[in-house]
Amino acid sequence: MTEKLNGAPISGEYEEILFDLPGPWREQVWHYVKFTTKDGIEWVGGFREKDNHNFLVAELDSKGVACVVSGGHGYIIDINRKEKIKDLETDTILDLTADQETSSFYISRWWDLKLVDKEFNEIDIQVPIDCDGIFFKEKDGRELNLEIEEIGADLIKNQDCYVDLDERKIKKRGTTMHKSNGGESAKTEVNTINKRKSWLKRLWS
């Protein structure tokens, strides 16, 4: 069980464990999550923020595993052992959700989307359109609805796509789109540069 806290707990109220970034950092901002183990023991984890200012938490109930995103950086946490399993290699994470049935997480950035499978491999899912933001919406059965902000003269919020959670593909209503694979999406170098420039404008704005 997980609960996002608004700030650091009162000193001595819970056992506190800090999880820092694996590399250089520039922020002194921390986000805090209260975890409850399968034995009912409560403890608090502190997670240093990285580049942006988001704070997201998702949990795989049956595995006792959580993913915490703090400032765009993802931490995989073993709740019962009170330890970090790994740092996600994918940074600048924008949104996060969990799929209990496949014991997987899904993470999105401004320009791409990835599956974190039950072995915590980060697998690219090809996105059918050039985008400047991917957000997870409600689930409808085994369909995870998406809101994709398209790149263009006018920013269009496309809500026609969803992730088929069984097939691990992005589909459009009535049409199969792109499927997941083990590598990066087949995008042109120019498009990739444009997407990163767009994200950097958001980051520093």
> Pairing mode, if any, of strands 42-48 and 15-19?
parallel
User: How far is 108 from 94, CA to CA, in rounded Å?
Assistant: 5
- Hey, which residues does 115 pair with through a beta bridge? 106, 123
Total residues belonging to the chain: 205
* Contact residues for 99 (Cβ-Cβ < 8 A; gap 6+): 105, 106, 144, 165
Per residue of the chain (205 residues), give pLDDT as tens: 999 999 999 989 999 999 999 887 777 889 999 999 999 999 999 999 888 789 999 999 999 999 999 999 999 999 999 999 999 999 999 999 999 999 999 999 999 999 999 999 999 999 988 888 999 999 999 999 999 998 876 778 889 999 999 999 999 986 544 444 544 433 334 344 444 445 444 554 4
User: How far is 168 from 123, CA to CA, in rounded Å?
Assistant: 10
Which H or E run includes 195? Answer: helix 189-204
